[in-house]
Amino acid sequence: MTRILVVGATGMLGTDLMTGLADYGITGMGSSQLDITDAFAVDRTVKSFDIVINSAAFTAVDDAEREEEQAFALNAQGPRNLARACKLGGATLIQVSTDYVFDGTAAKPYPEDARANPQSVYGASKHAGEQAVLEECPDSSLIVRTSWLYGLHGQSFPRSILQAGKARETLDVVSDQRGQPTWTVDVVAMIRMLIEAGINKGTFHATNSGSTTWHGFASRLFELAGWDPSRVHQTMSADFPRPAPRPAWSVLGHTAWAQAGLRSPRPWGAALDDAWSAGLSAFASSEERV
């Protein structure tokens, strides 16, 4: 049986990886069980596995601007340690990355081989992690980029918007950032496809297809909740200044899936409908049950 290690197993994506790959010989470790910045601990742990999925990351985008050293330690040195250990032990590393490696200035979906040009510390640290993995383990590693990720576990845009919708009459949501809302369960399904196909090299974009703005995403959530979407007002990013810049364009292309003979990702709206039925709707109720 294929032995899989999920690093970052207690996070939003990691939790669904543990569920969605439960029929494999799977082990999950959170940060309290494995510090990926500790090369010795990584070497000792990874040698027992065939596949390592790294979903651990410093994801606080704004905090990374003032905690650069910590962000690079977790997002760049951690993956390097994992890649070295995987190469030594003959394992495949699946490195989860992000749309923030791009500058957000495009007008069409970023292809998998588009030039990276991160504009934030978070993006730069994740790009450094990608480079480290490819340097250390070029023949047995996958870069899996995702964006606008949401799920039933932990904080996410839907939870925040629906909580705010219960508390406030109107919401201001930016309409000048465009991306692909992506359900964690679909990311797990895409990673599973790669594993089952025996693909152990390349870069894939694990995002739901199509695109919308944050305003469009919020409006659709209001519609699903049975609320008036006109309560969601459009605003601009400049009205909400943040320490770290956000990409205005986070739409990723999916050419690699077809080239590998695999199913392309489904539309974000279809995934959101299923996520709603699976439990996202609880965030709109008077008492959250998820």
Instruction: List, in sequence order, every residue forming a beta bridge with 92; answer none if it has no partner.
Output: 51
Rg (CA), the chain: 19
Residue 60 is encoded by which pair of tokens? 């606080």
Contacts of 259 (CB under 8 A, 6+ apart): none
How far is the C-alpha of 94 from the C-alpha of 156, rounded, in Å? 23
How far is the C-alpha of 139 from the C-alpha of 135, rounded, in Å? 10
- pLDDT value at position 160? 97
pLDDT band at 290 (very low <50, low <70, confident <90, very high): very low
Model confidence pLDDT, tens digit, residues 6-30: 999 999 999 999 999 999 989 999 9
| pLDDT exceeds cutoff 60 at 130 | yes
Residue ranges and CATH numbers for the domains of the chain are 3-156+180-210+251-266 (3.40.50.720)
| pLDDT exceeds cutoff 90 at 125 | yes
Rounded to a whole number of angstroms, the distance between the first and last alpha carbons of the chain is: 32
- pLDDT value at position 47? 93
**Dihedral-angle region of residue 185 (phi above 0 means left; psi in -120 to 50 means alpha; beta otherwise):** alpha
- Find out whether 98 and 126 touch, Cβ atoms under 8 Å: yes
Which one-letter amino acid corresponds to residue 128?
A
Of the candidates 134, 272, 141, 188, the residue with the CA atom closest to the CA atom of residue 9: 188
Residue labelled with tokens 């949401």:
150
- Active site annotation includes 100: no
How far is the C-alpha of 232 from the C-alpha of 169, rounded, in Å? 9
| pLDDT exceeds cutoff 90 at 230 | yes
> Of 24, 100, 110, 122, which residue is the catalytic one?
122
Model confidence pLDDT, tens digit, residues 68-103: 999 999 999 999 999 999 999 999 999 999 999 999
129-139 mean pLDDT = 97
- pLDDT value at position 1? 80
Residue labelled with tokens 């383990």:
137
Read off the pTM.
0.97
- Sheet strands (E) in the chain: 3-7, 25-29, 51-54, 92-98, 141-146, 149-150, 171-174, 178-179, 182-183, 201-205, 212-213, 232-235, 249-250
Instruction: List, in sequence order, every residue forming a beta bridge with 96; answer none if it has no partner.
Output: 144
How far is the C-alpha of 173 from the C-alpha of 240, rounded, in Å? 9
| pLDDT exceeds cutoff 90 at 286 | no
